[in-house]
Amino acid sequence: MDADENGLYFLTAKGKGFYNRVKSREYLALTGIKGEDTMSCVAVSVKGRVKEIGSYILPKLFEKNGLKKILT
């Protein structure tokens, strides 16, 4: 959802399987793929240390990703 010099930021809901898997590990490798088939797709992979940072950044992430209405 965002990135800066400190890291890559994404959201997931507490209680979801993905959240539980991320919380149980110190490191994460994540790959995103966009495209129809092998020869026309693009993939991005990132790996690194996982850290829960709390909710202070939520307003910025929601606004930047067109989710501002959720806050009101």
CA-nearest of 25, 5, 21 to 13 is 21
Q: Where are the domains of the chain?
A: 2-71
The lowest-confidence range among 2-6, 36-40, 51-55, 66-70 is 66-70
Q: Measured between alpha carbons, how far is 3 from 26 in angstroms, rounded to an integer? A: 19
- In the predicted model, is pLDDT for residue 69 greater than 80? no
- pTM of the full predicted structure? 0.65
Task: Render pLDDT for 9-60 as a digit per residue (tens, 0 to 9).
Answer: 888 888 899 889 888 998 999 899 999 888 899 999 999 999 888 888 888 8
55 secondary structure, DSSP code: S
